[in-house]
A and B are shown apart, each in its own frame.
Chain A
Amino acid sequence: MADLAIKPPLAELNPPLVEGNHSYSTVTHTVSGIVERKTPKQWFIAISISGAITLMMLGMIGYLFLNGVGVWGNNSPVGWAWDITNFVFWIGIGHAGTLISAILFLFRQKWRTSINRAAEAMTLFAVACALLFPLIHVGRPWRAYWMFPIPNTDLNMWQNFRSPLLWDVFAVSTYGTVSALFWYVGLLPDLATLRDRARTRIRQLVYGVLSLGWRGSARAWRHYEMAYLILAGLSTPLVLSVHTIVSFDFAVSIIPGWHTTIFPPYFVAGAIFSGFAMVVTLMVIFRYAFQLEDLVTIKHLENMNIVMLATGSIVGYAYATELFIAWYSGNMYEKFAFLNRTTGPYWWAYWTMVSCNVISPQFFWFKKLRRNIPFMFVISIFVNIGMWFERFVIIVTSLHRDFLPSSWGYFRPTFVDVCTFIGTLGFFTTLFLLFVRFLPMIAISEVKGVMPAPGASERGQH
């Protein structure tokens, strides 16, 4: 309540985070309503489509397991292609969620509250899609468990901790676990809300069990807030470390175009960039679909667009630096690698990447454009495409022409490559649809926390 005094001036600086005249109960009602209302027809249509695509993905994976990695276009020298491209793409998407929920939390960015729940969900589902690829890209998936240090009595074999790929295993699995915990902790109070509003016995039982008997006692809130703060504090370095380590897969190698010291920051920026783009894509759709315009305001979207503008420019700067260093280093292999990227057989991929990632976000310098819903939607899609291409460019164009020209080659995807990737999009959408159907897609209790207190006495709290 310390900041009550300075609320009026603040209000002039900052537009309200919740528009329309909402009270606690109306917020509760608006959000819970989505879950309690009868399922709309469109939802069934949507999920049956995305479900079908998911099934196709499973089919593709089955086909892959039966025949081997050869059903993809991967070859020698291009040992990694769409598989790892998709992996990095999805991991990158994931990062926005953690960033919004953790880093913005530490920076006391209150506007995060109405988008962090959905963003974290997105993180989880993106990580789920990402985790798929390290598992299925190996030649003998039934031996994938050898990547974990499970005590083995017969072989007496362990892992090689010098391998960035192994670091990845630890980083990504940790990231997945922690994000899940963080998300669930955030859900507890809202699950309790749903439990208390539940009419039917089943809902009571399900949400009753899920909410673990949360009752919002002040003594519980105290530990709760501490836990939330700690998790935020842990997730912040974690999220940075994850994409740093992912970038190590390349930076630690010796392949020109991979062996680059700026990868960690460059990858993290790119991850945030792509993640925010995905959040915007989703939010634009769902705030419209569920009439959440009051809670997810144009202000929220604008803020995210500003972040995209910033990170997009950083990424563009990174591209420029790469080229400069390649030229400046005087290393013939390095020089060639980047010349080949920009003018070689994959020039089209490189320039798609540049125009989508560097040029398109520049429009957000204009307030009008960054507050224009259809426009930002289109741009966010472009950015998603561009960031996929960034990973493709880094992985494939570096591999297909390295040191010895005799072993140079060219990569062409097969239909299995394509369908598997499209499949993950379906898988992601399916998970997200299930989420918005059965769980509160906005953090109710947190939003209440940042609302001006209702009238009864003038004394609200922050």
Chain B
Amino acid sequence: METAQITPFAAIAEFDTPGALVQAAEKVRKAGYSKTDALTPFPVHGIDEALGIPRSHLGYIVLCIGMMGTAAALLLQWWTGAVDYPLVIGGKPLFAFEFSIPVTFELTVLFSSFAAVFGMLALNGLPRFYHPLDNARMTRRVSDDRFVLVIDKSDPKFHPVETIGFLRSLNPISTELVED
């Protein structure tokens, strides 16, 4: 039911094995599509290369925030123990690296983990409860056993009719033009 009136969001094609998806994806990239994506029930190896998706930068974010955790911990222990209210305890120094290690380590890990999780959500723009692809008939099974290839309308080469046609040529189970 492709007619010129409707505003398309993306053209999608459905496959039943990860292998098929990856093969198709390679062709799509070679065909010069860049605003592409794939919906899969589990991380499919090789899809990133196939679609030319760059590596994640999450690691750097985590590193920075982890370091902040380290600093925060050391500051906390030094300031509370040696500056704000210095009390002689067990004849030990007011602040010492030795007894600061455990708490410092823990806070580093804590900060890093928060960074990893919330960083990941942020990079993925989650939570996102509505998505045009939800309107597609086939996307329901991507969390089960289907593998869907997506070409976004923002792609310069995108054309409702031609793109669909191109996708059909990759012998998917089916194709669909998703409305916004």
Contacts and interface: CB of A to CB of B under 8 A. Distances in A.
A–B contact via C-beta, under 8 angstroms: yes
Interface residues of A, number: 73
30 contacts: A1-B22, A24-B144, A25-B145, A149-B76, A161-B80, A166-B103, A177-B110, A178-B113, A181-B113, A182-B113, A196-B141, A213-B126, A213-B131, A214-B126, A216-B39, A216-B42, A217-B39, A217-B124, A218-B40, A230-B116, A234-B113, A245-B106, A444-B41, A449-B42, A456-B16, A456-B17, A459-B17, A459-B20, A459-B22, A460-B19
A1 B48 CA distance: 12
A461 B19 contact: yes
A181 B144 contact: no
A226 B120 CA distance: 8
Given A174-B106, A181-B117, A209-B129, A161 B99 contact: yes
A158 B85 contact: yes
The secondary-structure label for the interface of chain A is helix
Contacts of B19: 1, 453, 456-461
B131 A185 contact: no
B131 A241 contact: no
A444 B141 CA distance: 14
A223 B18 contact: no
Interface string A418-444: 000000000000000000000000001
B103 A218 contact: no
Interface string A143-176: 0000001000000111111101011001100100
Interface in A196-223: 196-197, 208-209, 212-223
Nearest to B55: A222
Interface string B85-105: 100011010000001101101
Contacts of B43: 218, 221-222, 224-225, 445, 449
Contacts of A344: none
Contacts of B16: 454, 456
Given A162-B89, A218-B40, A231 B116 contact: yes
Interface stretch (B1-9, B56-64, B161-169): B56-64
B143 A193 contact: yes
A417 to B, nearest CB: 29
Contact of B145 (A24, A181, A185): A24
Contacts of B99: 161-162
B106 A170 contact: yes
Interface in B137-155: 139-145, 150
Interface size class of B (residues with CB under 8 A): 35 or more
Given A24-B145, A161-B99, A196-B143, 12 more contacts: A25-B144, A25-B145, A167-B102, A192-B143, A197-B143, A219-B124, A230-B112, A248-B102, A453-B19, A454-B16, A459-B23, A461-B45
A381 interface: no
Interface of B: 16-20, 22-23, 37-48, 51, 53, 55-56, 58-59, 62, 76-77, 80-81, 84-85, 89-90, 92, 99-100, 102-103, 105-107, 109-110, 112-114, 116-117, 119-121, 123-124, 126-131, 133, 139-145, 150
Contacts of B84: 156, 158
Interface of A: 1-2, 23-25, 28, 149, 156-162, 164, 166-167, 170-171, 174, 177-178, 181-182, 184-185, 189, 192-193, 195-197, 208-209, 212-227, 230-231, 234, 237-238, 241, 245, 248, 444-446, 448-449, 453-462
Nearest to A230: B116
A167 B103 contact: yes
A148 to B, nearest CB: 11
Given A23-B145, A24-B144, A217 B20 contact: no
Given A167-B102, A189-B143, A217-B38, A230 B58 contact: yes
The 4 A-B pairs at the shortest CB distance, nearest first, are namely A459-B19, A24-B145, A158-B80, A227-B120
A224 B40 contact: no
Contacts of A212: 121, 126-129
Nearest to B45: A461
Given A1-B46, A193-B144, A223-B56, A156 B41 contact: no
A43 to B, nearest CB: 25
B37 A1 contact: no
Contacts of A185: 117, 120
A224 B110 contact: no
Given A161-B99, A174-B107, A196-B141, A1 B129 contact: no
B20 A456 contact: yes
A215 B103 contact: no
A308 to B, nearest CB: 27
